């Protein structure tokens, strides 16, 4: 197992990013959480700093850096005590825009990818439907060819950046009778005629705009087809590994931030005449959390090594997503307990982390789906390559 070797350049980047976050993000997090909206100006500021295109080619405005810069970005944004802000950023750079880079035409890259990297546009990926979550094959949204247009009808739900975003990379059925071979990806503009969007009132992630989308006879130019018609399912399966890995990094960093926040608290809080950190039962609980975080982090970093080497690591990323998200829920739950009654108030950020962390075991494939993937590969000897599985 290779160990990540952060260079001096990586550390300089982390320091620069932290300074940016302290100035441009942290002071506004509470307002964004209350308003349920992130100020669009922050994306432009991040674009100007190059933070929106770390792994993207220079020709599109990116920096063409290694994946460890993205790892650092995921970690540092996850320390902001706002899962809503963090997920909005991760969806743009790691969960939607990559489809444009890999499969979009040069015209689409010029019209959509470049503005995303510059921070001028907000992207989303629209896959999940009211009756189709992890089982992408069951989507019902259709796109019927009509001359130079597709006519799109259907609905999507739980779409991050779906209300304030500018466009959606949307999974549609262009050939409903052909199963997974009938799924394609289309870019649909948020302001296109026939598109409706309603914000979802959520348990957590209050800063992000999660939405239900409706498509009523939406006319989408055929030039908005991402890649080849009928290849959308394969594209999505390929993209899931990066999505799950960044989600794992986010969950783990959230656990770390909650853990450090709690360490600071128990070092100050007193009960029965001594600091809370001096009670043996609490010391052992803290020690176990530290051990669990350290071992999970080692494996997640191993997966980042594989990503940097362009490995299609289905099992590893599934394990990372499973372990990190479940660990984060456990750690934040224990941390809130150590705050006592104060942890149940909005005066301490642990309450927000408690709300935000819970969805980690659901997004990007539930823990149950991760377990089934791992079981198939371990027991049934199924292998996955470029979005396809083999016995």
Active site residues: 243
Dihedral (CA of 182, 183, 186, 190) sign: positive
Residues in the chain, overall count: 391
Q: Strand 167-173 relative to strand 123-126: parallel, antiparallel, unpaired?
A: parallel
Transcribe 64-87 into DSSP letters.
---HHHHHHHHHHHHTTS-HHHHH
With residues binned 3-state (H G I as helix, E B as strand, rest as coil), the percentages for the chain, rounded to 5, are 55, 15, 25
In a 3-state reduction of DSSP, which class is residue 6? coil
Please state, in angstroms and rounded to a whole number, the distance separating the CA atoms of residues 187 and 122.
Answer: 13
Report d(CA 314, CA 318) in Å as an integer.
Answer: 6
d(CA 232, CA 307): 22
C-alpha span between 56 and 299 (Å, rounded): 25
C-alpha span between 208 and 67 (Å, rounded) = 25
Residue 138 in tokens: 């069951």
Residue 319 CA to residue 359 CA, distance in Å, equals 17
Among the listed residues 149, 129, 151, the one whose alpha carbon sits nearest the alpha carbon of residue 140: 129
* Phi–psi pair at 140, nearest 5 degrees: -115, -15
CB 275 within 8 A of CB 269: yes
């Amino acid at each position: 197992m290779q160990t990540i070797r952060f260079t001096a350049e990586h550390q300089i980047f982390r320091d620069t990013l932290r300074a940016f976050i302290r100035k441009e993000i942290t002071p506004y997090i509470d307002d964004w959480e209350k308003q349920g909206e992130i100020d669009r100006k922050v994306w432009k500021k991040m674009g100007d700093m190059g933070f929106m295109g770390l792994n993207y080619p220079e020709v599109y405005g990116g920096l063409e850096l290694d994946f460890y810069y993205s790892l650092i970005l995921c970690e540092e944004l996850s320390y902001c005590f706002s899962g809503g802000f963090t997920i909005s950023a991760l969806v743009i750079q790691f969960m939607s825009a990559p489809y444009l880079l890999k499969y979009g035409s040069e015209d689409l890259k010029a019209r959509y990818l470049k503005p995303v990297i510059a921070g001028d546009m907000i992207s989303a990926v629209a896959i999940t439907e009211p009756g189709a979550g992890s089982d992408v094959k069951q989507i019902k949204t259709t796109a019927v060819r009509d001359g130079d247009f597709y006519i799109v009808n259907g609905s999507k739900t739980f779409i991050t950046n779906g209300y304030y975003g500018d466009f959606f990379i949307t999974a549609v059925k262009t050939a409903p009778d052909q199963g997974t071979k009938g799924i394609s990806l289309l870019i649909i503009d948020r302001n296109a005629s026939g598109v409706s969007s309603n914000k979802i009132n959520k348990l957590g992630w209050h800063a992000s705009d999660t939405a239900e989308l409706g498509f009523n006879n939406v006319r989408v130019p055929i030039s908005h087809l991402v890649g080849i018609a009928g290849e959308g399912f394969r594209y999505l399966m390929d993209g899931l590994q990066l999505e799950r890995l960044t989600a794992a990094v986010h969950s783990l960093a959230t656990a770390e931030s909650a853990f450090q926040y709690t360490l600071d608290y128990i070092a100050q809080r007193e009960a029965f005449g001594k600091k809370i950190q001096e009670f043996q039962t609490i010391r052992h609980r803290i020690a176990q959390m530290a051990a669990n975080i350290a071992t999970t982090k080692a494996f997640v970093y191993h997966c980042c090594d594989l990503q940097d080497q362009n490995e299609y690591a289905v099992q590893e990323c599934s394990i990372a997503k499973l372990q990190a998200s479940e660990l984060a829920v456990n750690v934040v739950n224990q941390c809130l307990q150590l705050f006592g009654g104060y942890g149940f108030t909005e005066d301490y950020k642990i309450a927000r982390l408690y709300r935000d962390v819970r969805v980690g075991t659901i997004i990007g494939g539930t823990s149950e789906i991760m377990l089934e993937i791992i079981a198939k590969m371990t027991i049934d000897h199924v292998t996955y390559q470029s979005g396809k599985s083999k016995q």
